[in-house]
């Protein structure tokens, strides 16, 4: 059938909203009518080229490229049709997308680390998780890949059943959408990866869609001091509404205040959630973090970047840690229902995350607003 999607044909180009062909779901797959898609910074990394694999990795992919690709990995919708053998969901079910699939059977899934599921290996390039072939095609018949095996910037999606999670039907789908990436990633970066405890001092660097949720996660875990760092005044103000206790324009500016409020011990953890993770930010975060503390790298760095500014001797001698995280180190099938329960109880301010809704045709305006610092999160609302 025909549907519409925002397609990126090459880095540096705008999103092209076009009619595409989508096949019926095959075995183990579901057809979903998309309700909302979030404008996460990770899709912008495709446009800037930061998240385009370097040539030596591209060579290993079928066709040697990830383009053209349907963007979007934060989303929610309603199941329209299920393929052979699907028992997890049925037509009419409301679902959250999961940008890391969970097979439930691989060693990572079996150990409760579904965010590291073996099926997530081919997030970029190639076709369906199920059999490697494509369900989406341009109007001229070329195969179309999908961001994180989802492609939520489309009116319809055919997804592996390992990429969807059933949610309660009375929940607002725009909230289910936000939880599918930004909320889970930010909240989990604080609660699971930084292991924030009651009384901690936590610094959150970059207060957009992910950082705002890291602040809420740190607050939920009982942090005493939550220091928000963002150069944009509006983000600093919103950070205070989400639970930050202090806000600064740069890590450098935050240092004296963190020193004073911790009697020189510095933060228990610093969570890096700026739009792009550049190598020089790591040592700045280490400087804000005290002995035995943790720096969590949640933001994504350019794939070609391998240099990091890091005082290794002090990392050793002060027993500090630098930790990466994907999906806030949470298991999608467990975390998404839990976060939605906290929202239902009024304990997470998720409605407040959405600054503006856009139509699919306005997607480039949405990303312009994100880059201009106007949005905590923009979402695309489909009919
Ligand atoms: N690890 C994961 O699983 C995962 C999941 C989703 C997103 N991400 C990544 O997280 C990052 C944040 O995504 P987002 O959607 O929140 O982006 P966003 O654009 O909404 O927010 C980024 C914020 O960082 C601020 N900022 C930029 N440079 C800064 C600096 N040097 N110091 C302090 N603040 C700075 C910006 O003003 C903005 O408010 C991106 O790199 C994204 O790709 C990672
Ligand atoms: Zn995301
Ligand atoms: Zn698995």
Domains identified in the chain, total number: 2
Q: Rounded to the nearest whole angstrom, what is the distance from the C-alpha of residue 40 to the centroid of ligand 2?
A: 5
Question: In terms of Cα–Cα distance, which of 126, 127, 146, 159 is closest to 58?
Answer: 126
Q: Give the active site residue among 97, 117, 177, 181.
A: 181
Read off the pLDDT band of 350 (50, 70, 90). very high
Beta partners for residue 13, in sequence order:
none
Q: List all residues whose CB is within 6 A of at least one atom of ligand 1.
A: 40-42, 45, 181, 185, 205-211, 229-232, 235, 273-277, 298-300, 325-327, 370, 373
Asked if residue 108 and residue 31 are part of one domain, the reply reads: yes
Shortest-distance atom of ligand 1 to CA 51: 43
Structural domain including 118 reads 2-170+350-381
Task: Please tell me whether residues 260 and 366 are part of one structural domain.
Answer: no
Distance from residue 148's CA to the centre of ligand 2 (Å)? 10
Residue 102 has pLDDT above 80, yes or no: yes
Q: Is residue 176, in this structure, part of any structural domain at all?
A: no
Is there a domain that residue 336 lies in?
A: no
Question: pLDDT per residue over 195-252, tens digit each?
Answer: 999 999 999 999 999 999 999 999 999 999 999 999 999 999 999 999 999 999 999 9
> CATH number, domain at 264?
3.40.50.720
Same domain, 12 and 153: yes
Q: Where a domain ends, among 325, 340, 366?
A: 325
The band of 126, judged by pLDDT with boundaries at 50, 70 and 90, is confident
For residues 26 and 154, what is the distance between their CA atoms, to the nearest angstrom? 19
pTM (2 decimals)? 0.98
Same domain, 119 and 196: no
Centroid of ligand 2 to alpha carbon of 42 (angstroms): 5
Tell me the C-alpha to C-alpha distance, in Å, between residue 117 and each of 105, 163, 327, 333.
9, 11, 11, 12
Pair (127, 25) in one structural domain = yes
* Residue 152 shares a structural domain with residue 238: no
* 251 and 200 fall within a common domain: yes
Our answer to whether residue 40 is catalytic in this structure is: yes
Q: Per the domain annotation, does 338 fall within a domain? A: no
Domain check: are 97 and 192 in the same one? Answer: no
Whether the upstream peptide bond of residue 68 has omega within 30° of 0, thus cis, is yes
Give the pLDDT confidence score for residue 57 in this predicted structure.
Answer: 85
Give me the residue label for tokens 């959250």: 96
Q: What is the pLDDT of residues 38-90, one digit of tens each?
A: 999 999 999 999 999 888 888 888 788 999 999 999 999 999 999 999 999 99
- State whether 27 and 155 are in the same domain: yes
């Amino acid at each position: 059938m025909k549907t519409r999607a925002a397609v990126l044909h090459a880095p540096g180009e705008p999103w092209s909203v076009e009619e595409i062909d989508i096949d019926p779901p095959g075995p183990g797959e579901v057809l979903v009518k998309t309700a909302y898609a979030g404008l996460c910074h990770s899709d912008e990394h495709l446009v800037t080229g930061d998240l385009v694999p370097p040539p030596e990795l591209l060579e290993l992919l079928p066709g040697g490229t990830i383009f053209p690709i349907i963007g979007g990995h934060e989303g929610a919708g309603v199941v329209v049709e299920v393929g052979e053998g699907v028992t997890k969901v049925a037509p009419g079910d409301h679902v959250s997308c999961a940008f890391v699939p969970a097979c439930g059977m691989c060693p990572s899934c079996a150990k409760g680390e579904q965010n590291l599921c073996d099926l997530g290996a081919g997030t970029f390039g190639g076709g369906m998780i199920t059999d490697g072939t494509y369900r989406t095609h341009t109007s001229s018949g070329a195969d179309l890949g999908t961001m994180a095996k989802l492609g939520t910037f489309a009116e319809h999606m055919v997804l592996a059943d390992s990429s969807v999670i059933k949610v309660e039907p009375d929940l607002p789908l725009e909230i289910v959408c936000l939880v599918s990436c930004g909320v889970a990633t930010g909240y989990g970066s604080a609660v699971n990866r930084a292991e924030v405890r009651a009384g901690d001092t936590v610094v959150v660097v970059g207060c957009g869609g992910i950082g705002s949720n890291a602040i809420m996660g740190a607050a939920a875990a009982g942090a005493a001091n939550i220091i928000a760092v963002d150069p944009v005044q509006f983000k600093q103000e919103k950070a205070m509404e989400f639970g930050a206790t202090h806000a600064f324009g740069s890590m450098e500016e935050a240092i004296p205040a963190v020193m004073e409020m911790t009697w020189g011990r510095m933060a228990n953890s610093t969570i890096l959630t700026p739009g792009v993770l550049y190598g020089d930010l790591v040592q700045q975060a280490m400087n804000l973090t005290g002995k035995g503390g943790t720096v969590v790298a949640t933001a994504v760095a350019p794939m070609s970047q391998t240099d990091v500014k890091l005082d290794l001797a002090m990392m050793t001698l002060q027993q500090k840690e630098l930790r990466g995280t994907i999906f806030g180190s949470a298991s999608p099938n467990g975390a998404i229902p839990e976060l939605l329960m906290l929202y239902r109880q009024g304990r997470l301010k998720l409605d407040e995350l959405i600054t503006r809704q856009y139509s699919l045709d306005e997607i480039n305006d949405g990303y312009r607003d994100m880059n201009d610092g106007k949005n905590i999160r923009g979402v695309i609302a489909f009919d």
